[in-house]
Structure 1
Amino acid sequence: MINKRRLLIVFTVILVIISINLFDLKMLLDGWFKYIRFLFLLFTAVISLPYLFQFKGVFVLPLQLITISIILSLLMAYYTWDQGIMDSLISTTPYLIWVFYFFLKRHTLSIAVIEKIIVGYGILYMLLYTYQYLNVSTVYFGYGEEIIEERGVFRFILTGLGFLVMTIFISINKITSLKRVSLHWYVLAVSGFLIIILQATRQNIVIILLLIIYHFTRSMGMIKKSFLIILTLLLLFNLDNLDNEIVQGLISAQKTTVEQGEDYIRVLAGEYFLLDFSPNLSSRILGNGVPYGEKSDYGKFVKALNEYDLFYLEDVGIISVYALFGVLAFIGFVLIWIKSFLLPLPKRFNYLKYYLWYLLFTSLTSNYTYHYSFIVVTVFAIYCFDTIYLYNTKVNQIKRLNNIKIKR
């Protein structure tokens, strides 16, 4: 007899690796795997959609809004840009992983199992990144033809970054919440952040560092907390004096950005996709849909924006979510972030908040809010947050009822 729990775990593990496109393994990018990926992700969406309106929860409405907006975007791409429904379905299927949240709500995968899946893929990410870094002469992952030395390092970001980020947050949370902390949590936290530094992406380094500092200082006394904050600020102010290629590369990139000022290309791209990209009122409200490579006029138009104006959807984050999926998806994300600040969680699960805050703080300058490298991790985070919060709410309600009965 088939063990349903094991089958669910195996299915989820396979879904993860397929959703992140096998870390964009180069040898499979243009082969048969893309057809398997499309069919598997479409199958996952089809078996998840029946549960779209069956549950209540603090994150149900935001996820419903995001899912509905993605489905409607299929029609908008046809209506606004005359992109074929089948072409839109192929380009949109990776984003439909959002609906997997409702499948998890129905079949209740445990938080412990999800943590193991996330950390397992986080470790795999570290191993693959290390292998690629030690063999930069050959590109094994991604669409590029070579890895260029930039900002003092061989700079590339492996697909699946969300698992690395979440593994870092889980690790630091375990360090402060477990009575007996295993050495491997320290190793994972340090190794993960070292890879973030080697990737030399300013916003990732600063935001993750600040969240780590926040985590370790939130329970400190005012004197210790003030001392650590002052020490960190002094370090940041004196980065110019550090004779390190990575640090000097980051500083040089930051100075270039500041010098560009209002003409900074991300600002111009953001203004364009927010105000001028949508050609009619309907697409301004419901989005334009996902372009299908260069096989549709819509895709060709977006590629022309990339080549001639240097306007990339992936550079403007949440604005891209609005441009592709409309107002409903944008509202969904806003609700998620509001709830992440307002709703309490047990301290040992604060890593869920940190991950959602990380998405918020990078939401204007990256594609992390909607890229397939992050969506499945975000679904895990929201599902775990929702499950834990509802469980704690029920427990507290039972305690209050018991106290009332005792008093009577």
Structure 2
Amino acid sequence: MIVTENKQRLQGMMIFLLVILSLNFFFAKFVSTSMLKNVCYAYMLGAIIMSVPRSFKISNGFVLPVQMISISVLLSIFLAQISWKQDLTYFSSSIPYLLWIVFFYLLHIRFPIAKLEKIVFFYGWVYIVLFMYQYTHSHVVYFGFRDEFAEDRGVIRILFPGAGVFLLAYYIALNKVLEKHKYRWAFALFIFCGIIVTVLQVTKQSIAILILITLFHLLRTISVGKKVFVMILASSIIYGTLNSNNPISRGIVESQRDNIQQGNQNIRILASEYFVNDFSPNLLSRIFGNGYPNLKSNYGKFITILEENYGYFLTDVGVVGMYAMFGILPIIAYIIIFFKGLKMRVPPEYQYLKYYLFNLLATCLTSDSIFSISFILTNVFVLYSLQVLYEEKQPTTLIKV
């Protein structure tokens, strides 16, 4: 019994550390310029190696889609060499994208969903604290990939890395705030802080989705009359806020106006057309992807030219960016994931899994949430949790060797 408990604690600590190390401590500058970055990558690689032997199982649910994504990432390492002459020694750049395989390790040890919730909620608070620190010290870049933060949409815009744990933690808090729980106040406080953080990042789509899901969850158990009243009140507040004279509101409105005026010349549309039609140098890469570009390779330097000279970012075109790097397999996999996940019935206490999945679907065309390093591990956590719930419903259709 003691051995089992110690083993479970060790497994819990391994997953706990994997979250922060996979995010390179929220991509802190002190990590990227020190040996600690190598430690992060070595830890991720160890987790992947440990998970690989568990990944060759045949099962229903979400196992096949995760296998498809994992295979596509692995193949893309060689495609980058074949199509772009990117040296295989740069394979380390793809290590974070192989964390999908950790899904199978979690299934093997049957890691408790309740523990995953606690880990994610803890890091959700870390995200909020670090974001507020960076926001109030925007003259120096402590986290992320930029050299400086510039004014955008009326404010100093800080898109803080590691948003996957923040979003999942937010939906966990939203799901639990209506429950009779002794830490209900902590969930309510997280929701309040989470909305502030989302608004301060001035991303129209993220704000709209968060408000939509929040209202849906909070209103679903009240009468129709109260729903109508709250919706009218919320609409009035949003309308009044957008038409106020504060910098954030002006920035959001001006950004939306610019997008409408651009029409078919919208940079995302142009970038998507390029990455689909002209980017891949051969048929093999059109099918299986071009691989992840290491910025030191010629392939990576070409990507930098596209970003700096044309404004074509793989991270801005969502599913198209994933296709360009990893091919059609993960696209098919995500179609399966969204269809099964959103159709699946889950117990009320796990409704947050579907909220997170809906968020991925709603942003899959305009953000990198479906393949970003900031999201991969939380995407894995959500699919693992859904797989566990799926198997609990169908005990006779468990893993077939």
Equivalent residue letter for 2:274: Y
Q: Which residue of 1 aligns with 2:399?
A: none
Deviation at 1:311, TM superposition (A): 0.5
Equivalent residue letter for 1:353: K
Deviation at 1:55, TM superposition (A): 5.1
Q: Does 1:7 align with 2:10?
A: yes
Moved more, 50-59 or 260-269: 50-59
Q: How many Å separate the matches in 1 of 2:293 and 2:261?
A: 33
CA RMSD of aligned residues (A): 1.9
Alignment map for 1:334-353 (pairs within 5 Å): 334-353=335-354
Q: How many Å separate the matches in 2 of 1:78 and 1:199?
A: 37
Alignment map for 1:173-188 (pairs within 5 Å): 173-178=175-180, 182-188=184-190
Tell me how many residue pairs correspond in the alignment. 394
**Secondary structure of residue in 2 paired with 1:176:** coil
Is 1:55–1:105's contact at 8 Å kept on the other side of the alignment?
no
Deviation at 1:221, TM superposition (A): 3.0
Is 2:243–2:249's contact at 8 Å kept on the other side of the alignment?
no
Q: How many Å separate the matches in 2 of 1:42 and 1:15?
A: 10
- Residue 130 of structure 1, aligned match among 121, 129, 132: 132
Deviation at 1:339, TM superposition (A): 1.1
Q: Does 1:70 align with 2:80?
A: no
Q: Which residue of 2 aligns with 1:314?
A: 315
Moved more, 6-15 or 135-144: 135-144
Moved more, 8-17 or 46-55: 46-55
Q: How many Å separate the matches in 2 of 1:193 and 1:163?
A: 15
Alignment map for 1:4-403 (pairs within 5 Å): 4-54=7-57, 56-87=59-90, 89-178=91-180, 182-293=184-295, 295-394=296-395
Deviation at 1:149, TM superposition (A): 3.5
With the length of structure 1 as denominator, give the TM-score of the two structures: 0.92
Q: How many Å separate the matches in 2 of 1:177 and 1:348?
A: 9
Equivalent residue letter for 2:40: R
Deviation at 1:167, TM superposition (A): 1.3
Q: How many Å separate the matches in 2 of 1:273 and 1:363?
A: 16
Per the alignment, do residues 240 and 156 of structure 1 end up closer, same or farther by CA in structure 2, a change over 3 Å counting?
Answer: closer
Deviations 1:351-397 (A, max 9, x none): 000011101111111111111111011111111111123213449xx
Deviation at 1:153, TM superposition (A): 3.1
Equivalent residue letter for 1:253: S
Is 1:69–1:325's contact at 8 Å kept on the other side of the alignment?
yes
Q: How many Å separate the matches in 2 of 1:223 and 1:169?
A: 26
Q: How many Å separate the matches in 2 of 1:286 and 1:94?
A: 19
Q: How many Å separate the matches in 2 of 1:136 and 1:303?
A: 25
Moved more, 226-235 or 100-109: 226-235
Moved more, 353-362 or 140-149: 140-149
Is 2:58–2:64's contact at 8 Å kept on the other side of the alignment?
no
Is 1:177–1:347's contact at 8 Å kept on the other side of the alignment?
no
**Secondary structure of residue in 2 paired with 1:11:** helix
Q: How many Å separate the matches in 1 of 2:179 and 2:121?
A: 17
Deviation at 1:241, TM superposition (A): 2.8
Q: How many Å separate the matches in 1 of 2:88 and 2:141?
A: 34
Q: Which residue of 2 aligns with 1:399?
A: none
Per the alignment, do residues 181 and 19 of structure 1 end up closer, same or farther by CA in structure 2, a change over 3 Å counting?
Answer: closer
Deviations 1:62-100 (A, max 9, x none): 10110011111111111111111221x111111000000
Deviation at 1:286, TM superposition (A): 0.6
**Secondary structure of residue in 2 paired with 1:145:** coil
Q: How many Å separate the matches in 2 of 1:267 and 1:51?
A: 40
Equivalent residue letter for 2:388: T
Is 1:152–1:245's contact at 8 Å kept on the other side of the alignment?
yes
Q: How many Å separate the matches in 2 of 1:131 and 1:307?
A: 29
Deviation at 1:310, TM superposition (A): 1.1
Gaps of 5+ in 1: 396-408
Equivalent pairs: percent with the same residue? 37
Is 2:22–2:41's contact at 8 Å kept on the other side of the alignment?
no
Is 1:174–1:181's contact at 8 Å kept on the other side of the alignment?
no
